[in-house]
Amino acid sequence: MLPAMMAAYPPGHPDHSGRDPEDAYEQELAPLIGGQLIGELLPCSTVAVDGGGAVVGGVLVNQWQDVAWVSEVFRHPDKSPPGLGARLIRHAQLRGGADGLPTMGLAVSYANPAKHVYARLGFAITDTMMTVIIDPS
């Protein structure tokens, strides 16, 4: 899963972390899947795999406070078809609805090119925030 996740956010993407893959796994992906980072991983989470069994895309949905929260959306740009992310999100929405979830939220960076996809899938802006990176020097 990590290779597809890292490939989805290459240098130049607004959500690129620049993290070492091992650190990304230990500090983000494993705790997210394990429910330690923001809350329990919900059954509506889904991944797509290629013919060889490698994960090429996914949507992780965690319980955050009282909201089903899309914590990760990713697709490997070279190993999956365009539109896969939207199809995976829609699958998560349908499964979440069948499981009785009344809403689903997500956060998106202002410069993320997928914003229009989220809007097309019914997500609406309900809040905004700003962040500053403080230079320690």
In the predicted structure, residue 75 carries a pLDDT above the cut 70: yes
**Cα-atom radius of gyration of the chain, to the nearest Å?**
15
What pLDDT, in 10s, does the model give residues 84-114?
A: 999 999 999 999 999 999 999 998 877 788 8
How many other C-beta atoms can be found within 10 angstroms of the C-beta atom of residue 78? 8
Q: Which residues pair with 72 in a beta bridge?
A: 60
Question: 127 by DSSP, 3-state: which?
Answer: coil
Percent of the chain exceeding pLDDT 70 equals 96
Strand 67-75 to strand 104-106: parallel, antiparallel, or no bridges (unpaired)? parallel
The answer to whether 81 and 67 have CB atoms below 8 angstroms apart is no
Alpha carbon distances (Å) from 21 to 6, 18, 119: 7, 9, 30
What pLDDT, in 10s, does the model give residues 1-31?
A: 888 888 887 777 766 677 777 777 888 888 8
Q: Locate tokens 């539109």: which residue?
A: 83
How many residues can be counted in the chain?
137
Average pLDDT taken over every residue of the chain: 88
Task: Work out the average pLDDT over 123-135.
Answer: 84
Task: Work out the average pLDDT over 33-57.
Answer: 94
Q: What is the DSSP letter of 33?
A: H
Tokens of 128: 């905004």
pTM of the model: 0.86
